[in-house]
Structure 1
Amino acid sequence: MSSRPAPRRTVITAALAVAAAATPLASAAASAAVPGRGSGRPAGTVDNHAWVTFPQWAGGRGAGTRVLGGTRPGLVIDRPIGNQEYADPHTHTTATWEYATWRSPVTVPAAPATEIVVSWNAHTPAGTWLQAELRGTYTDRTSTPWYVMGRWTSGDARGDIRRTSVDGQSDKKSSVSTDTLAVDAPASGLRLASYELRLTLYRRPGTALTPTVWRLGVMASDIPDRFTVPASRPGEGAGHRLAVPSYSQEIHKGQYPEYDNGGEAWCSPTSSQMVIEYWGRRPTPRDLEWVDPSYTDPQVCHAARHTFDHQYKGCGNWPFNAAYAATYHDLQAVVTRLRSLNDAERLVRAGIPVITSQSFLASELDGAGYGTAGHLMCVVGFTDRGDVVAHDPASPTNAAVERVYQRRQFENIWLRTKRHNAQGQIRSGSGGICYLYFPVRPTTRQARALSSVGVR
């Protein structure tokens, strides 16, 4: 039932001192968020930066790109600066593409980081794609290579590339695991002190096609390794729940096994689809024509196909799920970390569901009835006592998807970074990873809730 294991982590020391000044583009770090009523201040730092507005995009260095204005600014190809061959390892074809590039300013997070995740929101018509790269500077003043954080296109039309992460990227100090750049030995004290991003936009030669990138985001974090996290007390979200649709991944067992085991491992796209439809968006009948008409909830099959990472061979790539959600009209999406259930309560109270990633033994989450090395579900509310109301796609039917999980158990399995598996071996946890999907124009209350967790 797992969509993906949590990213590799090793024991790390406490965070280093806060870096010198943040850049003008920096959003407030989630570490600055005020904890919920009565809770202690969680350890660790989480910092979010995003390029969304016209001035932010214009502050980068474009080569062959330009920034579109209007109500939703975005980066597009203006005049390509050259051609590049790409040998697709998944289609086994080689094609030539025109390209243009954009580079961000060097950005200093609120504190040096051990892990970085990049996400993006874009439109990529058939015949176009994008590549997102990151280069970091360590606290010892050396630099990483340019790491590929994803090659992405929203579809899989004939002649297009296949969306993919890139394995085998390392400089002996850090490495990329699917979608996460991590310092290899954080116990040494080495951290990533700054970073810059590079986007390369591609299209078929001789056409006027272009990707449009509306949002580029970075989540940089330094979360201390721990088996147990501090408990939070119920806050403003208690007694509130959202009307999110309920979809089971399990009813899709055997359907389209080419997309990661045909439903059994579709927790991430199933959770994504629930929240996309909560916001009133869904695939059109034409979008779903490829799905066997005898299948219930064909939109879940569609989500699995369009989040599938051909290198990872699964649907659990975090940025790919966020990018899929943002292909729907006026939705945007980020990957971040939250630091307690109080953060989730503020978001839910403002009308924003939270898709969480966690790993646990069956004995660690009463009522689940299973254990997992990595599983996504959707937090849709809280009981009057503050327990978690979750839409858990690892349920036998749609009707059984809504569950109530004990607050303390849920918070610990979600936020911890270390755990023991059934064999007693030490394994990693997600450290509070989540997806947030929300409108391009959120309400004032939604914007304040997002800002409180460092997302703008």
Structure 2
Amino acid sequence: MSFGAKQLIASWTADVPSDTWLEIEIRGTTTSGDRTGWYVMGRWAMTDMDIHRTSVPDQDDEFGRVTVDTFKAVDGVTLRSYQLRVTLYRLPNSEHSPVVHSASVMASHLSEQKHVDASPLGGAEGIVLDVPKYSQEIHKGEYPKWDGGGEAWCSPTSTAMILSYWGRGPTDEQMSWVNPDYKDPQVDFAVRGTYDYSYDGAGNWPFNVAYAGRFGLDGFVTRLRSLTELEQYIKAGIPVITSVSFEADELPSAGYGTDGHLMVIVGFTEDGDVVANDPFAPTNEDVRCIYSRAAFENVWQRTTGSGGIVYIIYLPEHTHPAHPTGTKQR
């Protein structure tokens, strides 16, 4: 790497049939030449019938720690390189084998930014992608064993919207276990398919990307540097899931505050404001929202929040945008 990284996030897509699972690990070499041990970034299975997919807590040493899905170096330590290891498992006598389609790592070192100004317009003004609208709130109280719907289900609800946009997702037969009285059963299915049994939630970032991979989609977790960069994905026809946190007065038209929330950016107004499918809405009809470009960019990009975290999920054959002039992947 050309810089000393402070954080690493792995993501992957794979076919993982019944009786099989994956373990994803990372280790690094520090800028002072020390080699870390291997950190488990996730144990992944497509179903919860053979093992419970999980992050691994209590990984903490002199170099860093793993917080759910993110390796964070301690103060005074940066990484000059890393290695990613994926180990494939299957039960004895199983005839099935997992197949990895993609595996990647996002490495970053963010300068502290408590406030971020709006970036220049990037050419997607007036483009709004036709992403289906799903509310997490209509699921409140459903399946308490998977965190009970409502506020806790923003990530899988966003992921379900993206799958529907690409024409992918579970079949009626696969969803037959969902209570027939529940609307949008694909959301309940996504929750069960992304649930992290250690974290006790469905908001594990790489697990959501891996879930999309179950249906033939490609994807990765990364950071984007600005709305200018995000606009290039909208121009290419790729909606983007963003991670944000804010007080109620920091994103005024939202009408709520949050310590962490996922929503889908589906386009931009003619003036460059953000058009979002925000699953926090009380009904599906209310999901489409418009947020001030300046306000949204600040709560998304600042380092007191996620620092620009996104899920990029797309059809493998779909054209991927080049990075805008003056930006770099990080």
- For the superposition of Structure 1 and Structure 2, which TM-score range results when normalised by the shorter chain? over 0.9
The one-character-per-residue Cα deviations of 1:166-216 (angstroms, maximum 9, x if unpaired) are: 00101122100000001121xx3x211111111110011123311100101
1:223 and 2:110 matched: yes
CA distance in 2, matches of 1:449, 1:352: 14
Deviation for aligned residue 1:278: 0.4
1:336 and 2:240 matched: no
CA distance in 2, matches of 1:351, 1:409: 24
CA distance in 1, matches of 2:116, 2:36: 32
C-alpha distance 387-177 of structure 1, shift in aligned 2 (>3 A): same
1:184 and 2:74 matched: yes
Identity between Structure 1 and Structure 2 (%)? 51
1:448 and 2:322 matched: yes
Aligned partner (choices 179, 200, 203) of residue 316 of structure 1: 203
1:203 and 2:104 matched: no
Does structure 1 conserve the Cα–Cα contact (< 8 Å) formed by 2:233 and 2:321?
Answer: no
1:119 and 2:11 matched: yes
CA RMSD for the aligned pairs? 1.5
Tell me the SS of whatever aligns to 1:243. coil
Which residue does 1:164 correspond to in 2?
Answer: 54
C-alpha distance 110-438 of structure 1, shift in aligned 2 (>3 A): farther
Which residue does 1:233 correspond to in 2?
Answer: 120
Deviation for aligned residue 1:225: 1.4
1:414 and 2:290 matched: no
TM-score, reference length from structure 1:
0.70
Which residue does 1:365 correspond to in 2?
Answer: 251
AA at the equivalent of 1:363:
D
Does structure 1 conserve the Cα–Cα contact (< 8 Å) formed by 2:12 and 2:206?
Answer: yes
TM-score, reference length from structure 2:
0.97
Does structure 1 conserve the Cα–Cα contact (< 8 Å) formed by 2:137 and 2:149?
Answer: no
Deviation for aligned residue 1:262: 2.3
AA at the equivalent of 2:279:
P
Does structure 2 conserve the Cα–Cα contact (< 8 Å) formed by 1:252 and 1:264?
Answer: no
CA distance in 1, matches of 2:309, 2:252: 21
C-alpha distance 150-452 of structure 1, shift in aligned 2 (>3 A): farther
Q: How does 1:10-409 map to 2 (within 5 A)?
A: 109-157=1-49, 160-185=50-75, 188=76, 190-329=77-216, 331-409=217-295
CA distance in 2, matches of 1:335, 1:126: 25
Does structure 1 conserve the Cα–Cα contact (< 8 Å) formed by 2:122 and 2:229?
Answer: no
Aligned partner (choices 303, 306, 311) of residue 430 of structure 1: 306
CA distance in 1, matches of 2:165, 2:84: 32
Does structure 2 conserve the Cα–Cα contact (< 8 Å) formed by 1:347 and 1:450?
Answer: no
CA distance in 1, matches of 2:325, 2:23: 28
AA at the equivalent of 2:315:
P
The one-character-per-residue Cα deviations of 1:230-269 (angstroms, maximum 9, x if unpaired) are: 3212220111110000000000000001112323310000
Larger radius of gyration: 1
Tell me the SS of whatever aligns to 2:249. helix
CA distance in 2, matches of 1:453, 1:398: 36
Does structure 1 conserve the Cα–Cα contact (< 8 Å) formed by 2:229 and 2:324?
Answer: no
* Count of equivalent residues: 329
AA at the equivalent of 1:441:
E
CA distance in 1, matches of 2:275, 2:260: 19
